[in-house]
Amino acid sequence: MQEAGVPGSPSRERVTVFASKRARASLPRRIYLYRSLGMGLGALVIAMVLLELQAGPLRWALCIFTGLAWPHLAYQWSRRSAAPFRAEQRNLVIDSAIAALWVPLMHFNLLPSVLLMALSAADKMNTDIPGLVQRTLLPSLLALLAGGLATGFAFEPHSSTAVILACLPMMLIHTLMVGLGRLQLVRKVLQKNRELDLLSRTDVVTGLVLRGHWERGAVATLHDVHAQSRPAALVLIDMDGFKLVNDRHGHIAGDALLRKAGAVLRSVLRPGDIAGRYGGDEFAVVCPDTGLDEATAMAEAYRAAMEGIALTQAPDHAHSVSIGIARARANHARIEDWINAADKALYEAKRRGRNCLVVASEPQGASTT
């Protein structure tokens, strides 16, 4: 059996929807509905052909078994098995053999034969179980031969209008059901992709974006500043005495403080602001379309909020942050120039005794762009 994640399997790198144990265990239940519907509608088609062929009781009994008994029997068989995933694959192979058996038993009536074989193969493909379609080939061929020998390979390919009409529900309902199932799968995959994308951009401790992603936002903002003469501000934040929390109360307390600092920062951001974790205890916020006054107000709100926080893990610690702010200028050719300007202001805030905010000084004759 070729299955993702099975040691020694030749297709270990093939990723299928059955990568998880839960997905494998639920296969019989998920197939049950499809099989009941498919076999039920298939039996309707077969019954119409049998009616026209004036078939004997044996074929009618087999038709009733196919449409009504087999789906439930198959479900119970795999559900009670010690290995339901493997058992269900055996049932799927039997499904194909049953479909193939009916081709000669219907005297090769063209439309129902093609329909049964095509839908049966499509169902196998839809399971996404590697190699399943190939495994159905030999049993299907043997079933076809057995049915052919039983009927002397009687050949009546013409499909009457009644048979064509009987095929319609199967074509329509089956196709819609499979389409719906695929749609659900695609939606699930898209949702998971969005979650993964968010995870790959987010710092798990602070909930802020990671530095690389933040830098991309900052570069795009600086580009807009130069290209469209739009204002922007950059805020660099460093926690004061953070190392002390680690040293005195342990890294778990340090992490709790970072988590809190991230949450408080997110609460003061304005729409459009991009806040990232710049380093260990350093955060950076780029504020597109923002003048210095607005950015300073936001940063001051953060400074004041951080001064007021209480942390049970470090009750004696006086929490505060130092902040440097720089507006984007024409001579900031690269993002590093802009960051350096904010960094110098941050250094100045530290030098002034921490827990304060400093705006980068403007060189003589400086303009935005």
- Verify binding: residue 246, ligand GTP, rule CB under 6 A: yes
The alpha carbon torsion through 244, 245, 250, 256 (nearest 10 deg) reads: -160
- Verify binding: residue 273, ligand GTP, rule CB under 6 A: no
Nearer to ligand GTP, 244 or 309 (CB): 244
Single-letter amino acid, residue 300: E
Taken in order 240, 243, 247, 253, the sign of the CA dihedral is positive
Sole binder of ligand GTP in the list 10, 179, 272, 280 (CB under 6 A): 280
Nearer to ligand GTP, 21 or 243 (CB): 243
Sole binder of ligand GTP in the list 38, 112, 254, 288 (CB under 6 A): 254
Compose the 182-221 pattern: x for residues touching ligand GTP by CB under 6 A, - for all others: -----------------------x----------------
Task: State in angstroms the smallest separation of the CB of 198 from ligand GTP.
Answer: 20
- Verify binding: residue 53, ligand GTP, rule CB under 6 A: no
- Verify binding: residue 359, ligand GTP, rule CB under 6 A: no
CA–CA distances in Å: residue 281 to residues 11, 234, 243, 295, 297: 45, 17, 9, 20, 22
The 3-state DSSP class for residue 289 equals coil
- Verify binding: residue 320, ligand GTP, rule CB under 6 A: no
**DSSP assignment letter at 353:** T
In DSSP notation, 202-258 reads: B-TTT-SBPHHHHHHHHHHHHHHHHHH---EEEEEEEETTHHHHHHHH-HHHHHHHH
- Verify binding: residue 281, ligand GTP, rule CB under 6 A: yes
Sole binder of ligand GTP in the list 251, 270, 334, 352 (CB under 6 A): 251
**DSSP assignment letter at 15:** -
Q: Rounded to an integer, what distance in angstroms lies between the CA atom of residue 81 and that of residue 278?
A: 54
- Verify binding: residue 270, ligand GTP, rule CB under 6 A: no
Sole binder of ligand GTP in the list 85, 102, 214, 242 (CB under 6 A): 242
Q: Which residues bind ligand GTP (CB under 6 A)?
A: 205, 238-244, 246, 251, 254-255, 258, 280-281, 350
